[in-house]
């Protein structure tokens, strides 16, 4: 994954998607106009000034060669629900009512539709199916990861458009890393029940009894591979958002007193 700097603006891109000519980015908190706890590139309304959020989208979309008027949002609720959008959905979320309630995956084969996902420690998964010219953006927090939403998104691209999953290019965004994602037994039990193999990505916290660390980056990569993606086509950032609060908004650090990061992808 590569960091791009344009003046005060900083964002990340996946090199596999860049080589394929796909317009995309994963934002940082740097380079926008928001203030206070939202400083400065906040990409969700929350309680920020709407005009600041709209300007932040103009800045980031212009930087990657897209138009903020073409963005499409859903309301993420940690499900495994995935929805298709088209050119008729452009602007939903930023300028009109959101596309839909309760969808954490979004996909399209239409040009100039900017799929948008939100994060402040959760994993975002980027997909591009080159053989059928389709893209997807999937929000995969720990609940979505347990439900294998990333794998289900790849399955949908294959079923809906006929994509060859072995050719799909994927990116796994910065998110809270295994170094910092401390959980208790009920969360570990969810993974053990639904994904027995995930034990390979869970370790005991040696300093605190009954606590564990989970590798969401690793588990999401394994899910994608289990659903037919080629390992060489998956670019895993392995960047921890909690370790770098100067660059990323982190829910684990500040709770709700924060802005939101976003992933954008468009044909």
Q: Is 254 helix (H, G, I), strand (E, B) or coil?
A: helix
Res 100: pLDDT: 66
92 inside domain:
yes
In whole angstroms, give the CA distance from residue 252 to residue 141: 13
Residues 78-107: tens digit of each pLDDT:
999 999 999 999 999 999 988 667 899 999
For residue 71, what are the β-bridge partners? 114
The sign of the CA dihedral 29, 58, 74, 27 is negative
119 inside domain:
yes
97 inside domain:
yes
CATH, residue 53: 3.60.140.10
Res 98: pLDDT: 81
Residues 24-65: tens digit of each pLDDT:
999 999 999 999 999 999 999 999 999 999 999 999 999 999
Which helix H or strand E contains 225, and what residues bound it?
Answer: helix 216-226
Check pLDDT > 70 for residue 8: yes
193 inside domain:
no
Q: What 8-state DSSP symbol labels residue 43?
A: -
Residues 113-144: tens digit of each pLDDT:
999 999 999 999 999 999 999 999 999 999 99
- Computed over every residue of the chain, the mean pLDDT equals 97
224 inside domain:
no
Which range of residues forms the domain containing residue 62? Answer: 2-175+230-266
200 inside domain:
no
Token code pair at residue 126: 């980027």
Domain count, the chain: 1
* Strands 182-184 and 123-129, bridge-based pairing: unpaired
86 inside domain:
yes
Distances (CA, A) of 186 to 83, 104, 210, 211, 249: 29, 23, 10, 10, 26
192 inside domain:
no
Res 99: pLDDT: 61
Res 104: pLDDT: 97
Whole-prediction pTM value? 0.98
Q: In what order do the strands lie in the sheet with 82-84?
A: 82-84, 105-108, 134-140, 123-129, 169-172, 234-236
The answer to whether 267 and 24 are in contact (CB under 8 A) is: no
């Amino acid at each position: 994954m590569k960091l791009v700097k344009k003046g005060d603006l900083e964002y990340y891109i996946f090199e596999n998607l860049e080589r394929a000519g796909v317009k995309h980015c994963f934002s940082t908190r740097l380079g926008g106009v928001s203030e206070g706890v939202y400083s400065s590139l906040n990409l969700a309304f929350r309680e920020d000034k709407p005009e600041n959020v709209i300007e932040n989208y103009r800045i980031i979309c212009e930087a990657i060669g897209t138009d903020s008027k073409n963005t499409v949002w859903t309301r993420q609720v940690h499900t495994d629900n995935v929805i298709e959008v088209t050119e008729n959905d452009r602007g939903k979320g930023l300028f009109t009512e959101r596309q839909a309630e309760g969808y954490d995956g979004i996909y399209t084969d239409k040009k100039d539709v900017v799929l948008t996902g939100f994060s402040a420690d959760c994993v975002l998964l980027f997909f591009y199916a080159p053989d059928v010219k389709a893209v997807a953006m999937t929000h995969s927090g720990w609940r979505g990861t347990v439900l294998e939403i990333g794998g289900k998104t790849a399955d949908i691209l294959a079923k809906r458009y006929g994509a060859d999953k072995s050719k799909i290019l994927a990116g796994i965004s910065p998110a809270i890393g295994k170094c910092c994602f401390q959980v208790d037994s009920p969360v570990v039990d969810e993974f053990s029940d639904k994904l027995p193999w995930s034990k390979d990505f869970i370790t005991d916290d040696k300093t605190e009894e009954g606590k564990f660390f989970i590798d969401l980056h690793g588990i999401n990569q394994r899910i994608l591979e289990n659903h037919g993606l080629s390992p060489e086509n998956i670019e895993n950032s392995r960047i921890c958002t909690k370790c770098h609060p100067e660059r990323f908004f982190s829910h684990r650090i500040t709770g709700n007193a924060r802005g939101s990061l976003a992933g954008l992808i468009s044909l």
